[in-house]
A and B are shown apart, each in its own frame.
Chain A
Amino acid sequence: MTPAISVAGLTRRYRGQLALDDVTFDIEGASITGLLGRNGAGKTTLLRIIAAQEFASAGRVRVLGASPVQSDAIAGRVVLIREDQTFPELRVCQVLRVASLFYPNWSAELAEALLADFDLPPNRRVRKLSRGMRSAVGMVIGLAARAEVTLFDEPYAGLDPVARQIFYDRLLADYAVHPRTVLISTHLIDEIAGLLERMVVIDRGAIVLDAAADDLRGSVTSVRGPALAVQEFAAGRHTCGRRQLASQESVVVIGALAALDLARARALRLSLEPLSLQQVVIHAAGRPETDVRDRTSA
């Protein structure tokens, strides 16, 4: 099967600055993938290139089997909703009508239901909407377009947690009936973690983690207890984030723990706490302390 999105060796330079550095990944058919990383990591650049709003400096990009910049075939089959999306000077209902002409899979029924869900006034001019309401208009378009490739770039500006929950629920409900390739960049990882099948973390333009979300759960554990016992348990394991307070020590152990490890931790009277996916991403993109130390000493 042709992957929905295929990126190989993608590099993007701005005046000598590397925004994307040899990025390679494929996303097969229907799935929901999180694109995660710090501000300035390159997430927006990557999404804009996939949506043909920006050019690559080098590398190969295929969206639904075609080069996004050369092909009219994928117009209307890809939607990108950005943070602080700008809209033409129109009323909400007119903006939606324009969008409906552009996306062949547009569902007027879904758009109407979402307008009600988000309490959006259809006759108000978009310019007069609050920031959060403008974000909601973007979400309505992003979902109602039912585009085969649906890209959201931190679509939440100004949205309260209740509205975000509505977005997650409606996305999940519509995705269940109309599966598509969804790629979402966000910082609110714990909120969305359950929806994600896969997580791609980029840092300084390069992919630092690309894994099935469920494989990461339970794979990073905070281990706390008497310093000697913690050191005995951690010996020979991949660890980071060591902290010590008096005779107590805590350390983050990377790699899933087997039943035998759990029994051993119990015997050593250690307390184990699995880290959330958000913490896992922080460890992946957060430039581990050893890394920082290496650079300062160099």
Chain B
Amino acid sequence: MLDESAPIFSQVAEQLADQIADGGLAEGERVPSSNELAAYYRINPATAAKGINVLTDEGVLEKRRGIGMFVAAGARQRLLDERRKRFTERYIEPMVAEAGRLGIDAEALVELVRAYGHTQGGVTV
């Protein structure tokens, strides 16, 4: 679930953000407490709390006194916007770089993406 590539707190924040962006955690829904996250990931509760704090600072989560942490209104859209902004850097850049090494030109690359999109029945380019 977690790896060594980055601090655990940021991985916890990222996985919660992913769940919110994918709709697994709906806006207004209660998110797991730091102790629940700690038990689930088998990590220190302070580390889990730090992960929650990242999302609170970003306005993705909001605290309701005495009840817990909840997904803030508009959080999902904000996370999706952010992901779109990072799409080029995260996916296009490494793909184009590798295509360049393999001698796949732009036309062929677009064709590959289009063909793959069809097999998945999802994206049509």
Contact = CB atoms under 8 A, between A and B. Distances in A.
Interface in B74-114: 93-94, 97, 101
Interface stretch (A36-44, A115-123, A166-174, A240-248): A166-174
Nearest to B33: A176
Contacts of A215: 7
Interface stretch (A47-55, A70-78, A270-278): A270-278
Identify the interface centre among B3, B5, B41, B45: most chain A CB within 10 Å of its CB: B45
Contact of A168 (B3, B5, B42, B93): B42
Interface stretch (A82-90, A147-155, A191-199): A191-199
Contacts of A173: 39
A194 B42 contact: yes
Interface string A190-227: 00001111000000000000000111011000000000
A196 B45 CA distance: 10
A197 B47 contact: yes
Contacts of B47: 194, 197, 213-214
B22 to A, nearest CB: 24
B4 A214 contact: no
Nearest to B42: A194
Nearest to B43: A194
B9 interface: yes
Contacts of B46: 31, 197
A83 to B, nearest CB: 23
B4 A176 contact: no
Nearest to A197: B44
Contact of B42 (A172, A175, A274): A172
Contacts of A196: 44
B39 A269 contact: no
B56 interface: no
A31 B49 CA distance: 13
Nearest to A190: B4
Contacts of A124: none
The 6 closest A-B pairs by CB, nearest first: A214-B7, A194-B43, A176-B35, A274-B5, A274-B4, A218-B6
Interface of B: 2-9, 35, 38-39, 41-47, 50, 93-94, 97, 101
Interface of A: 31-32, 168-169, 172-173, 175-177, 194-197, 213-215, 217-218, 263, 266-267, 269, 274-277
Given A218-B4, A266-B93, 17 more contacts: A168-B42, A169-B39, A169-B42, A172-B42, A173-B39, A176-B35, A176-B45, A195-B42, A195-B43, A196-B44, A197-B47, A214-B9, A214-B47, A217-B6, A217-B8, A267-B97, A274-B6
